[in-house]
Amino acid sequence: MTEPTARYLRAAAGQAPAAGDTIPPGPIPVFPTPTPQRQLRLTINGREISVPEGSSLLQAAIEAGFEVPTLCYLETLTPVNVCRVCVVEVEGSRTLVPACSRKAEDGMAVKTDSERVRLSRRLVLEFLASATGLIVVALQIGYLPTLYGAYNRREILVTALDSRAGAPAWGPEILARHHLSEATASLPAMYAAWETLSADIAESHSSYPWLMGMRSPSPLNCWVISLLAVLDSAALYISLCPATVPTEARQCLRMGFVALRALARAMGIDVKDDPRPDDPIELTFEQFTKGVEHMRRAGFPLERSAEDAWPDFHGWRVNYESAAYHLADRLSAVPAAWSGKRKHMSKRDYVDVLARRPRHRTPTDPEGKRVLERQMTFSADAE
Ligand code: FES
């Protein structure tokens, strides 16, 4: 006997405690001796078995090696007995009984797979299936305003980008057009709006990924191309004009690549969490130079040369290029400059889609001849 037990027995018997005893005297707790469980004998599908009293017919059937389907039953819960998928036939009983909740009784004869049982289960399943369809439709209708709201918020900004960048959108054209129309002061507001939109779509589109596949009303617009163009314009601005770039451009870039990565992951695309600035990207220096030249021809005030700006631009683009290119390919987005390849489109499809700047007609120049026309085609950049 261990010392703590001896001490306890001394205290319980009212004996004087020995030195070191700390337990006060008192009655010894009496544990009830377990009574042996009665065994019940019954037959399941003609097979005799015995189960402990209190077992359900479902447990008895499993014990006998027969399968009984269940839907609302879980071993860890008290049977709720609502689906009636588990019904079995008990000899002498007028109605079918649910096996998950009905207790086994001595002498019962149970059939788990009779014609009557199968018919009843089929009816129950058909009824549940038809009700489920209605419930799903009701849920979808209930969610439509929420989903349409998310789609609508996205498309308002995508459509608004048409006048700022053309369609399909292209990063250098955003900056060129803003400069040509003397609207560079509105760029911070645009970046702030796209930062908010990026957070919005990161949340809504990763919760409902099929929102990503909902197309824009215009065939030349696609949200992923527009977002990529905005991020490219911000990265160009930061790398080419570090002294004058608005802080909103940096915030927009950061939120933008976080959103693109989240959405790529929601589509099962593997993207790096924290790429290095010198990791490879698909956009070449030649393509970048063409974009910078495009801005220069529009008269955009550049603080650095393309050669000096390239490492910074590369370091920013490495954060979102892979996610954006994969998403554009997966969604078969409209072919656009600086947006990677589309597996399901031919080279011809690329060449056919060119963003054009509308003529800037004025009373003194009704033909709009003074405006810088884009000389560069997007086809070369899109390849
Ligand atoms: S499993 Fe649903 S009533 Fe038995």
Taking the C-alpha atoms of residue 207 and residue 211, their distance in angstroms, rounded to an integer, is 9
Question: How close is the Cα of 85 to the center of ligand 1, in Å?
Answer: 5
Fold of 39-113: Ubiquitin-like (UB roll) (3.10.20)
Q: Quickly state the pLDDT bin for 383 (edges 50, 70, 90).
A: very low
Q: Which residues are paired to 48 by β-bridges?
A: 43
pLDDT for residue 356: 67
The pTM (predicted TM-score) of the whole model is: 0.65
Any ligand 1 atom below 6 A from CB of 98: yes
pLDDT for residue 382: 42
Q: Which residues are paired to 47 by β-bridges?
A: 44
pLDDT above 60: residue 380: no
In the chain, the amino acid numbered 225 is I
Ligand 1 atom with minimal separation from the 100 CA: 4
Nearest CA to ligand 1 atom 3: 81
**346: how many CB neighbours lie within 10 A of its CB?**
10
Ligand 1 atom with minimal separation from the 84 CA: 3
Residue-wise pLDDT for 189-232, tens only, equals 999 999 999 999 999 999 999 899 999 988 889 999 999 999 99
Question: How close is the Cα of 61 to the center of ligand 1, in Å?
Answer: 14
Closest CA to 100 of 41, 59, 157: 59
Q: Quickly state the pLDDT bin for 8 (edges 50, 70, 90).
A: low
Location of each CATH 3.10.20.740 domain in the chain: 39-113
CA dihedral 126, 128, 133, 139 (to 10 degrees): 180
Q: Quickly state the pLDDT bin for 135 (edges 50, 70, 90).
A: confident
DSSP states along 180-210: HTT-GGGHHHHHHHHHHHHHHHHHHHHHSGG
Any ligand 1 atom below 6 A from CB of 61: no
Q: Which residue in this structure is represented by tokens 């696609």?
A: 222
Nearest CA to ligand 1 atom 1: 70
Across residues 145-158, what is the average pLDDT?
93
Q: Which residue in this structure is represented by tokens 């017919």?
A: 57
Question: How close is the Cα of 136 to the center of ligand 1, in Å?
Answer: 22
Any ligand 1 atom below 6 A from CB of 85: yes
CA dihedral 111, 113, 114, 120 (to 10 degrees): 110
In this prediction, what percent of the chain has a pLDDT beyond 70? Answer: 85
> What are φ and ψ of residue 77, in 5° steps?
-120, 155
pLDDT above 70: residue 18: no
Residue-wise pLDDT for 50-97, tens only, equals 999 999 999 999 999 999 999 999 888 888 888 999 999 999 999 999
DSSP states along 310-321: HHHHHHHHTTTH
Taking the C-alpha atoms of residue 233 and residue 176, their distance in angstroms, rounded to an integer, is 10
Give the side-chain half-sphere CA count within 13 A for 360. 10
Any ligand 1 atom below 6 A from CB of 56: no
Residue-wise pLDDT for 275-290, tens only, equals 999 999 999 999 999 9
CA dihedral 325, 331, 335, 336 (to 10 degrees): -50
> What are φ and ψ of residue 323, in 5° steps?
-60, -45
Any ligand 1 atom below 6 A from CB of 70: yes
- For residue 149, give both structure tokens: 């709201």
Choose the residue to mutate in 82, 125, 128 for probing ligand 1, maximizing ligand atoms within 8 Å of C-beta: 82
Question: How close is the Cα of 97 to the center of ligand 1, in Å?
Answer: 10
pLDDT above 60: residue 273: yes
pLDDT top residue among 263 and 164: 263
Across residues 352-373, what is the average pLDDT?
65
Q: Which residue in this structure is represented by tokens 């498309």?
A: 155
